[in-house]
Chains A and B, each alone.
Chain A
Amino acid sequence: MKRDWLPLLLIPVLGLAALPLVGSAASWVTLTVAGLAMGLMIFIMASGLTLTFGLMDVLNFGHGAFIAVGAFVAASVMLALAPWMTADSLWLNLAAIGPAVLAAVVVSGLLGLAFERVLVRPVYGQHLKQILVTTGGLIVAEQLLKVIWGPEQITLSRPTALRGAFLLGDIAIEKYRVLAVVVGLVVFAGLALTLNRTRIGLLIRAGVENGEMVEALGYRIRRLFVGVFAVGSALAGLGGAMWGLYQETVTAAIGAQVAVLVFIVIIIGGLGSVGGCFIGALLVGLTANYIGFLAPKVALGSNILLMALILLWRPQGLYPVAKR
């Protein structure tokens, strides 16, 4: 429901709780920005997945493939434009990143269309087959990436303008993270505006609740779904490109690795809810960074703990989608 603000409070609560544990304010700011950046990148990758699930009850276990493809495509373009990447000019850097990201978005979006047509459509409504076939799709996609780009990992470095950190007193904030936060917020705002202010958005929200009734009102929900699937894949590609640049390495396994975080986020948020996905992603990003600082050994396991706690509180996730 719209008026349930409690989950939103979790973010400041988590941040404030971490402050005394972290100790120094400077480290806390650095960690918080890092957590938000990571969370927002995951959000970009997860939003499409949660929407397609809500809309058509389809969960694509191969979503990671789009993430990986986005990362590889962007990396290739950036390597091809290496001179611009290393140039000491923000504009030239952006002139390299822009086409790279665009290519990543377009290719993974198109791949999404193909994936939907070939793998997902024949198994609508059959959950078991859906899980198996989309997992198979991930396996094949991962191998194809190795066929095309070779089995070795690709290393790439961030462009000159995005290296280093902004220094505010003794607080250091990495430039790239700031960019990630900005892009993430723009994507979130774009999605929120589309969902709340446009007719398509209205249809999507209605379809998430009750697709059958949307059809009975005369709308072809299948088309809507294909569109959402493609946009979701494209966003995964965007997220993958950003993630690759963040890690500065790209491997074929990147998709499967990040997909686990994506799954955790959409479970936490409540399957089908974009708002829940947003909060879940921020919680996961922040927790990973705080715990990574406080107790590095258990950092990645902390996500599971977070998920378990949230599910104990709300078994259907933060914002269970009203179904039928």
Chain B
Amino acid sequence: MMEKVISVENCDLFYGDFQALKDVSLPIYRHKVTALIGPSGCGKSTFLRTLNRMNDLIASCKVKGSIQFNHEETYGNGYDVIELRKKVGMVFQKPNPFPMSIFDNIAFGPRQQGLKDKVKLKEIVEKALKQAALWDEVHDRLNQSALSLSGGQQQRLCIARAIAMEPEVILMDEPTSALDPIATQKIENLIEELKKDYTIVIVTHSMQQAARISDYTAFFYMGELLEFDDTKTLFVSPKLKQTEDYVTGRFG
């Protein structure tokens, strides 16, 4: 039996009166890549944001059900959301490096946790950049602004920034949708590598991408999780007609 890092049970989510997630139950397995697919507006991003409680920022948002991270209720009373976000990192759709140097971007997270030791910070930055396959490209210009990097490099920087916190899970919301094919390729290779050390949940609109890089795939439709299976099964012999239509591209 595979180990679950995150376990979502019967999750309902409301934006005011609008129900964006309906009774979603989904396991996230350790050191696997889980892809979330589904048509636009079906609740993929919403679901992703419940995993590190970024939905907290939306005042109208209410969550019901059980979401456990390492067997602890993350929406439970007294649960430390900061600790959760340290362990469950996030990479956004558009690369969003801070307007600081490359070094400061990656050192940001550890610094906010109170780490001041220069040598330690340097080690962390180097390790994160190497893991994000960016070290060779930027090691000689760590003090330059992160905004001077290309879009693909910026996205890998954002991955490195998340890695620097040594999370267990990295959530990625369409991380390659703003990138060209070559940069996309690099990120996909990177995800392949990162899987050894991290658990990855990725939202994607590209069926090929989901098929290429993920171990498990969850198909969302209008706020419901219609089908969840290992990727091969889901793509080759889906149980539902809707899933088949969607993965074969016959569907909106």
Q: Do A and B bind?
A: no
> Measuring CB to CB, which residues of chain A are less than 8 angstroms from any residue of chain B?
none
> Measuring CB to CB, which residues of chain B are less than 8 angstroms from any residue of chain A?
none
